[in-house]
């Protein structure tokens, strides 16, 4: 096995009211793995992703991503960590409506200070690779859900992150578009992209990952790996 990209130890996170969103979660994800996090609504899936991305901090426990203790980073350091190593894809795309598709995709690189020309070239390549190049100058509002999610994936990949996190990426899509995005993620993983996908869609989990983690009430209720079918 290769070096762990994600390592959570005894992580708990609760909010002011109600039971903890996560309690005593320990898990390890290695480079090149594709992991699906499954669980009913409110089981703590998004909380888990936010902790890994450094958008949130655990109450107890440690979160290490690509060798960096994410839970110990300050705001600025965690932003830098995110833009260098973590790409995020959301259920509702979260594209910026006032920016063109190309400007959306290039944004992470610009925030990281990548040279203008280089960033533009990479964005164009990505859009091409993901089959949305003809929409580069359009605004997200004009695109279909599936196309928007492809753009969102392109944006997440812009800085060649070690880790791609997707929170219910097909949750807002019709079946056809959902399968389309699922195929895309599978291909990315096949090319070596480490992937964590949160979903409650078993079909998605089966098609693009070989390992599923089941969350129930903030606890890991199951962690199953299946042998590759190919």
Partner 1 sequence: MSALSRVVRSGVARRRVQTVVIGLATTMAVTSSVLGGSLLVASTAPFDDAFAEQRGAHLSAVFDAGKATPEQLSVPVDGVTASAGPFPVTTITPSDNGPGRNGAGGQAPGGQAPLTVAGRTDPGGGPVDAVTLTEGEWADEPGELVVSADGPHAHSPTGSAVGRRITLTDGSTLTVVGLARSVSRTADGWVPPSWVTAPESYQVLYRFTAAESVDAGREAVVAAVPADAMTGSQSWLVLKKAADRSVAVFVPFLVAFGVLGLVMSLLVVGNVVAGAVGAGTRRIGILKALGSTPAQVVRAYMAQALIPAAVGTAIGAVAGNLLAIPVLAETEDVYGAVKLTVAPWVNVVVVVGALALVSVTAWVSALRAGRLRTVDAIAVGRTPRPGRGRWAARLTARLPVPRPVGLGLARPFARPARAAAMTAAVLFGATAVTFAVGLASSLNQIQIARDHDAADVTIGVSDPGPQPGSRPGGRPAAAPDPAAVSDVIAAQAGTRAHYRTSRTQVTVTGVAGTTAVVSFTGDATWDGYQLVSGRWFTQPGEAVAPTPFLAATGTEVGDTVTLDDGGKTVTVRIVGDVFEMSNDGMVVLTDAATLTAGNDAKGATHHIAVQPGTDVNTYIDSLNAALAPLGATARPGRSGQASDTIILINSLTATLTLMLVAVAAMGVLNAVVLDTRDRIRDLGVHKALGMTPRQTIAMVIASVVVIGVVGGAVGVPAGVALHGAVLPAMGESAGIGLPASAHAVHSLPELVLLGIGGLLIAIVGASLPATWAARTSTATALRTE
Question: Is residue 13 within 8 Å of 46, Cβ to Cβ?
Answer: no
Among positions 11, 36, 46, 151, the unique one binding ligand ADP when judged by CB under 6 A: 46
Nearest distance from residue 223's CB to ligand ADP, in Å? 16
The reply on whether position 145 binds ligand ADP by CB under 6 A is no
| 69 or 116: CB nearest partner 1 | 116
Spatial separation of the C-alpha atoms in residues 38 and 230, rounded to whole Å: 23
Query: Is there a contact between 165 and 8 (Cβ–Cβ < 8 Å)?
Result: no
In the complex, the smallest distance separating the C-beta of residue 214 from partner 1, rounded to whole angstroms, is 22
Looking at residues 149 to 188 of the shown chain, list those that interact with partner 1 (rule: CB under 8 A).
155, 159
Are the CB atoms for 26 and 11 separated by under 8 Å? yes
Which of Mg ion, ligand ADP, partner 1, none does residue 83 bind (CB under 5 to 8 Å by kind)?
A: partner 1
Confirm or reject binding of residue 92 to ligand ADP (CB under 6 A).
no
Q: How far is the CB of 53 from ligand ADP (least distance, A)?
A: 13
CB of 36 vs ligand ADP, minimal distance in Å: 13
Determine the Cα–Cα distance for residues 76 and 95; give it in Å rounded to an integer.
22
- Phi first, then psi: what are they for 191, rounded to 5°? -85, 0
Contact partner, 44, from partner 1, Mg ion, ligand ADP, none, Cβ < 5-8 Å per class: ligand ADP
CB of 41 to partner 1, least distance (A): 13
Q: Name which position in 4, 28, 60, 99 contacts partner 1 (CB under 8 A).
A: 99
Site residues (vs partner 1, CB under 8 A): 46-47, 50, 53, 55-56, 75-76, 79-80, 82-84, 88, 90, 94-100, 103, 107-108, 110-113, 139, 141, 155, 159
């Amino acid at each position: 096995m290769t070096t762990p990209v994600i390592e959570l130890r005894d992580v708990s996170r609760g909010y002011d009211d109600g039971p903890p969103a996560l309690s005593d979660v320990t898990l390890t994800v290695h480079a090149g793995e594709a992991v699906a996090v499954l669980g009913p609504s409110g089981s703590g899936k998004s909380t888990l992703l936010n902790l890994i991305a450094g958008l949130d901090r655990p109450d107890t426990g440690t979160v290490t991503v690509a060798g960096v203790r994410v839970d110990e980073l300050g705001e600025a350091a965690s932003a830098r960590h995110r833009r260098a190593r973590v790409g995020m894809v959301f259920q509702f795309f979260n594209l910026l409506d006032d920016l063109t598709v190309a400007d959306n995709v290039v944004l992470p690189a610009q925030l990281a200070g990548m040279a203008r020309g280089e960033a533009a070239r990479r964005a164009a390549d990505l859009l091409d690779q993901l089959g949305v190049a003809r929409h580069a100058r359009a605004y997200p509002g004009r695109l279909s859900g599936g196309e928007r999610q492809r753009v969102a994936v392109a944006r997440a990949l812009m800085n060649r992150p070690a880790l791609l996190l997707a929170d219910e990426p097909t949750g807002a899509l019709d079946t056809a578009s959902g399968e389309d995005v699922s195929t895309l993620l599978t291909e990315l993983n096949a090319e070596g992209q480490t992937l964590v996908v949160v979903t409650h869609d078993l079909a998605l989990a089966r098609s693009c990952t070989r390992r599923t983690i089941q969350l129930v009430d903030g606890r890991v209720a199951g962690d199953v790996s299946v042998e590759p079918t190919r």
